[in-house]
Structure 1
């Protein structure tokens, strides 16, 4: 299953029932003019397979993961968010200034949001279903 992933795309794994995470995916799709990203929920079959391939704990659904299959590298938490936002270009690149902070500081803020994301933003009963226009961008 991992062998069939597109090597020329960056894959965003996200919590499919989290409203904040789904909003982030919507934001990525709206800014992804160069068609850089593909998406899969952490809970999906392909999402679990990617996490197992990367030897990650599949019970931890509190982090966005950016996987680059062509390079066999991944980023999670604040590192993934910053790298995704960097692809947006324009004023979004200004957020990269926060990367000068130690990762543990950026991840501290990320972890607080992740911990309370359901309380603050709510959650769905089931994973996000892509629209017809979005279907080609979602794996699995």
Structure 2
């Protein structure tokens, strides 16, 4: 295990996202705007070196380009990640985590429907949107 990977694992929870996807970048912005004051979440694009290293460490197929939440030394993918992310959000968002009782193969039908169309919805981006300096420190690859 490399030093960079060991260092990244100290920053859990970590959200890996498609850094080239406009919808994914907007989703990260949406999360940042609704995150609890503790601001525990860290972020890394899937395409980054640390994103690739984390996927390899957790033995996640290279072809997976969905969000991945790394928490408590476990990796959650697709709807499992999205629902668990809500626990780090303000307001009523954490109530959505109740849907983890629905089997993932059913939840992921909805997730996959949106994921297949995400680049058509907003398109691709070349750089992340502007983020404040405090939040920028939580991006492991910027």
TM-score by length of 1: 0.87
Q: 1:79-101 CA deviation, whole Å, 9 max, x = no partner?
A: 10000012214211232232232
Q: Give the Cα separation in 1 of the matches to 2:49 and 2:20.
A: 15
Identify which range, 4-13 or 104-113, moves more after superposition: 4-13
Instruction: Say which SS state the counterpart of residue 43 (structure 2) adopts.
Output: strand
Could you tell me whether the CA contact under 8 Å between 1:16 and 1:128 is conserved in 2? yes
- Any stretches of 5+ residues in structure 2 without a counterpart? none
* Residue in structure 2 matched with residue 24 of structure 1 by the alignment: 27
Q: CA deviation at 1:67?
A: 0.7
TM-score by length of 2: 0.86
Q: CA deviation at 1:119?
A: 1.2
Could you tell me whether the CA contact under 8 Å between 1:130 and 1:138 is conserved in 2? no
Q: 1:81-138 CA deviation, whole Å, 9 max, x = no partner?
A: 00001221421123223223221111111011111111122122x2426535232010
Q: 1:42-63 CA deviation, whole Å, 9 max, x = no partner?
A: 00111011111111122332x1
Q: Give the Cα separation in 2 of the matches to 1:26 and 1:72.
A: 25
CA RMSD of aligned residues (A): 1.8
Shift in alpha-carbon separation, 1:51–1:130, aligned structure 2, 3 A = farther
Could you tell me whether the CA contact under 8 Å between 1:41 and 1:127 is conserved in 2? no
* Residue in structure 1 matched with residue 128 of structure 2 by the alignment: 128
Q: Give the Cα separation in 2 of the matches to 1:59 and 1:102.
A: 22
- Any stretches of 5+ residues in structure 1 without a counterpart? none
Report how many residues are paired. Answer: 136
* Residue in structure 2 matched with residue 88 of structure 1 by the alignment: 89
